[in-house]
Chains A and B, each alone.
Chain A
Amino acid sequence: MADESAEPAPLRRHEDDRETVAACQAGEREAFDRLVEKYQRDVYRLCYRYVNNHQDANDMAQEVFLKAYRALERFRGDSSFSTWLYRIAVNTCLNFRASRKPEAGELPEALPDKAQGALERLERDERSRRVREAVTRLPEKQRATLILKIYHDLTHEEVAGILGSSIGTVKANLFHALGNLRKMLAAEAGE
């Protein structure tokens, strides 16, 4: 298993899923389990970044896989499975209306780094929390673009494929998202 704290690998590093997908389409449930195992971190992290709380992210991640399972029959391989799955995940996120606020301490921010001072760690965690919370307030397309580009390390082309946008739109949305994020956080800090 990969490092638990690592961010998701980009799509282009995902190995070909054609055989596993074909097995799923032939009715092999274990093959779908393998796809869930392979992509659950990416999907969960995407959902978490979108809603910034574990319970909703967990519900959404399950929903993504259920939708994917139901739709797998119609998957024809025009895009890679991972792009297709990301598309389902983003649509699930876009349609989701947050029902919960993040609860303090619902998940540990990160494993303690012994080399770091406690105060420094608290400050960093608080900063991360504020940024994540600000990301959830970005307009939806900007939010999706920023999450896919920054936290999933996808190329502009991959993000465009997932969102069904042009590359130019992806770049413009990302640029707006970054500027807006900075402005929101500066306003909160009273700058």
Chain B
Amino acid sequence: MGSHVPEQRLLDVMEGTGADDRAHVEACPRCRTRLAEARAGMALAAGAKMPEPLPLYWEALRRQVRRRLDEETVPRPALWRRIPLVPAVAAAAVLAAIVTVRPSAVHQAVPAPEPRLPAWSALPPAEEDEGLDVLRAVAPAVVDASPPAGCTGMAECETDLSDEESRILTERLRQEIGHGRAM
């Protein structure tokens, strides 16, 4: 007898297709035995019922899934975390430059009688200002970064801001510090 029928085609014979192989299977004791064993296995498997949970179980399962989803649902991040990263980092970089790098340079570079950052006058002293902790935490990464093109340092870039830019920056810093306190 030639080569035996492979398993996938024996399954076709078992399922009533695979007409091409039927003659071989009938004539080949080995293939016939394999097919008979698979048929017996099918009868056993098909007859094996499984116990059903009580009807109330399904509601309990849904409740458990809901509870676990509730538990792991991450709360939305605080507002200050959702502030667009680039402007926030830019603001932090400028502030870091003011506070930690060259504080005197900024003051010297501002000739106008009106302070460039008037909002600071309303802020508490730096040593009592919790908001600065937030900015200091962010500052190292940006202070070490290269300044934008055309600037030799962060402080110089800050002095190039227009009044409108300064106003926006002030607002940003106020928000940052306000949210930092709320943490």
Contact = CB atoms under 8 A, between A and B. Distances in A.
B53 A131 contact: no
B34 to A, nearest CB: 6
B51 A108 contact: yes
B38 A178 contact: yes
B47 A181 contact: no
A13 B69 CA distance: 28
Interface stretch (B2-10, B102-110, B112-120, B167-175): B2-10
B46 interface: yes
A11 to B, nearest CB: 19
Given A62-B68, A66-B65, A108-B51, 6 more contacts: A44-B53, A45-B50, A108-B52, A171-B8, A178-B42, A181-B44
A48 interface: yes
Contacts of A107: 51-53
A174 B61 CA distance: 31
Interface string B124-168: 000000000000000000000000000000000000000000000
B49 interface: yes
Contact of B61 (A61, A124, A169): A61
A188 to B, nearest CB: 11
Given A49-B50, A107-B52, A168-B8, A179 B38 contact: yes
A110 B40 CA distance: 23
A131 B65 CA distance: 30
Interface of A: 1, 4-5, 29, 32-33, 36-37, 40-41, 44-45, 48-49, 54, 58, 61-62, 65-66, 69, 106-111, 124, 127-128, 131-132, 135, 146, 150-151, 168-169, 171-172, 174-183, 185
B8 A44 contact: no
B37 interface: yes
Interface string B62-78: 10111011001000000
Interface residues of B, number: 34
A6 B21 CA distance: 35
Contact of B41 (A29, A33, A36, A179): A179
A141 to B, nearest CB: 13
Given A107-B53, A175-B11, A182-B37, A131 B47 contact: yes
Contact of A172 (B7, B44, B51, B66): B7
Given A40-B58, A150-B46, A178 B37 contact: yes
B55 interface: yes
Contact of A135 (B6, B11, B45): B45
Interface string B17-42: 00000000000000000100111111
B45 A175 contact: no
A67 to B, nearest CB: 11
B49 A62 contact: no
Nearest to B62: A36
Given A179-B34, A180-B41, A37 B62 contact: yes
A174 B46 CA distance: 13
B51 A110 contact: yes
A178 B45 contact: yes
